[in-house]
Amino acid sequence: TSGELETTFMVSVCRSSNLQALLDRQDLPSEVQPLRSAYEAVANEDHRGTRLADESHHPRTRPPSSLVLRNEVYQLLLSALDRKFNTTAYTRNWSPVPREVQELSKLSIRGVVFATTKSFPRDSNVLFLSQGGSSRPRVGNIESIFQFKLQDRESTMTYLLVQQHSPLANEIMQRVYTQFGFAGGFLCHIGEPIGSHLIEPADIICHFAKTPLPNCDGVMHVLPLNKVRDIPMP
């Protein structure tokens, strides 16, 4: 019932608040420090993709740091700009594009926080659409988020570098989940990414919950969470 649900949320919030208050003490014994470090590492992550971008919970975003794009990413950026503006000026170097950009640790899309793998790993798991590719959702992890300005454009542009994982080819195993549609999720390989994609925030569909299958080495179940954009139907 709604009353039981409210009670569950209240108990969870109270327990979390009490634990945080205890760990904030300065006189903690040394044996507790590993627990404190582990708690701080996960306390600010969006475990289920539903937490709002609340600055009272999330630490303030660190000031952007300078990042020089490696050649592979820079070429992806030039191609992405050509597609976006329907031109060839950027790949032909007719319009200069800065190689040095401002790197962010996270950003908010419709009130949901998305972050890089090195900042908040759980917040980096995303379903996304590839620019100029298939309309089918892809699975990946956000490696980098950066912003820059073009000389011929006034607005600041934001891009995310995402490393894609491949879906499992076994249709029989996939059917267990895909029979329920998008909400049922699907299976995907864990391991080395199969490619890099440079996308805009509008290409992000949602977070996903990652569950490794105990009896299938290197396979995970991808469960889509709250969507921040609609998915085009085939």
Work out the average pLDDT over 92-119. Answer: 91
**Containing structural domain, residue 13:** 1-43
Specify the DSSP element, H or E, that contains 222: strand 219-227
Within-domain flag for 75:
yes
Same domain flag for 61 and 114: yes
Within-domain flag for 234:
no
Same domain flag for 97 and 180: yes
| Structural domain count, the chain | 2
Q: pLDDT value at position 13?
A: 67
With a cut of 50, say whether residue 196 has pLDDT above it: yes
**pLDDT cut 70: percent of the chain above it:** 84
Q: pLDDT value at position 138?
A: 93
Same domain flag for 120 and 179: yes
Q: pLDDT value at position 56?
A: 45
Quote the CA–CA distance of 222 and 176 in Å, as a whole number: 13
Which of 50, 51, 53, 61 has its CA nearest to residue 103? 61
Query: 66-103: string of b/e by CB count within 10 Å (b at 16+)?
Result: ebebeeebbebbbbbbbeeeeeeebeeeebebeeebbb
209-228 per-position pLDDT tens digit: 999 998 888 999 999 987 77
Same domain flag for 33 and 60: no
pLDDT, greater one: 46 or 76:
76
Work out the average pLDDT over 102-107. Answer: 93
Same domain flag for 34 and 63: no
How many DSSP H helices and E strands does the chain contain? 4, 11
Same domain flag for 82 and 52: yes
**pLDDT cut 90: percent of the chain above it:** 51
Within-domain flag for 232:
no
Same domain flag for 103 and 189: yes
Same domain flag for 16 and 84: no
Q: pLDDT value at position 48?
A: 47
Confidence of residue 42 (pLDDT cuts 50, 70, 90): low
Write down the mean pLDDT value for the chain: 83
163-194 per-position pLDDT tens digit: 999 999 999 999 999 999 888 999 999 988 99
Q: pLDDT value at position 57?
A: 46
Q: pLDDT value at position 19?
A: 74
Within-domain flag for 132:
yes
With a cut of 50, say whether residue 77 has pLDDT above it: yes
Within-domain flag for 201:
yes
The structure tokens listed for 178 are 């895909």
Of 125-139, 159-173, 189-203, 205-219, the one with minimum mean pLDDT is 125-139
Same domain flag for 9 and 52: no
Measured CA distances, 67 to 5, 41, 149, 150, 179 (Å): 45, 24, 14, 16, 43
State the CATH number of the domain containing residue 176. 2.30.30
Q: Which residues pair with 66 in a beta bridge?
A: 102
pLDDT, greater one: 126 or 16:
126
Within-domain flag for 82:
yes
Same domain flag for 83 and 101: yes
Q: pLDDT value at position 35?
A: 80
Within-domain flag for 233:
no
Q: pLDDT value at position 52?
A: 45
Q: Which residues pair with 99 in a beta bridge?
A: none
CB 82 within 8 A of CB 88: yes
Same domain flag for 22 and 54: no
With a cut of 70, say whether residue 1 has pLDDT above it: no
Q: pLDDT value at position 2?
A: 54
Q: Among 27, 43, 59, where does a domain finish? A: 43
Within-domain flag for 58:
yes
Same domain flag for 119 and 199: yes
Question: What DSSP string runs through 69-102?
Answer: PPHHHHHHHHHHHHHHHT-STTTTTSS---SEEE
